[in-house]
Homo-oligomer: A and B are copies of this chain.
Amino acid sequence: MKLYAYFRSSASYRVRIALNLKGLDYEVVPVHLLKNGGQQFSQEYLQLNPDGLVPVLVDESTGGEALTQSLSIIEYLEETHPEPRLLPESPLDRAWVRSLALTIACEIHPLNNLRVLRYLMRELKVSEESKDTWYRHWCEHGLASVEKMLSRDSRTGTFCYGETPGLADCLLVPQIANAQRLQCDLSAMPTIMRINAACQELEAFAKAAPAVQPDAE
């Protein structure tokens, strides 16, 4: 499999973790989001993904279609390589884990995307400081929701759901990395920080970290 990714993109990071947890081989094809006006806007890349976003997964074993959207890619990996599983078995528990993942994927990350931050600065003439405040606001607000969800639920274990890492952890760890990079205040979020630390000890997460990617700067 080929994963078109940018080392610092948290959506790419999610998919790397999922691939590693499932023990799948893949080659990273770096797509630099900043150099030369952004390689994601090249004609070649737009053929793969007209939305100009990373990551894209190409699975040659099933025909080489370019798959987009990190959550959709992870669900695809779950369906084609069911073990080890990233989602629980019961529909209620699956809904729970997906709702944790979607809280990060829909309520935090889209607001802090590169193109959104650019719009704030270029179109709305927002200062660097206000942009960073915006970033921290949505990150802290969303992670506080995840903290509340996890801290009151009996299914929370060493990881977001029980004792094995899964879909929600694939989203949580990259989001915390972003939060720390922008100096968000995570002091009131002991549950997610404890889970993040447990994940960091696993090779699947360590190997997926931005700093150890081939295109890391």
Q: Which residues of A contact B (CB under 8 A)?
A: 50-51, 53, 62-63, 65, 67-69, 71-73, 75-76, 79-80, 91-92, 94-96, 98-99, 102-103, 105-107, 109-111, 116, 119-120, 123-124, 126, 130, 133-134, 137, 145, 148-149, 152
The answer to whether B145 and A51 have CB atoms under 8 Å apart is: yes
Interface centre among A51, A73, A105, A148 (most CB of B within 10 A): A51
* Copies of this chain, tallied across the complex: 2
Question: Which residues of B lie under 8 Å from residue A67 when comparing CB positions?
Answer: 92, 95-96, 99
Interface centre among A53, A68, A96, A103 (most CB of B within 10 A): A68
Question: Which residues of B lie under 8 Å from residue A109 when comparing CB positions?
Answer: 106
Q: Of B80, B105, B124, which contacts A124 at CB under 8 A?
A: B124
Q: What is the minimal beta-carbon distance from A39 to any residue of chain B, in angstroms?
A: 18
Question: Which residues of B lie under 8 Å from residue A98 when comparing CB positions?
Answer: 69, 71-72, 75
Q: Of B80, B91, B103, which contacts A51 at CB under 8 A?
A: B103
The answer to whether B80 and A91 have CB atoms under 8 Å apart is: yes
Q: Of B51, B71, B94, B95, which contacts A107 at CB under 8 A?
A: B51
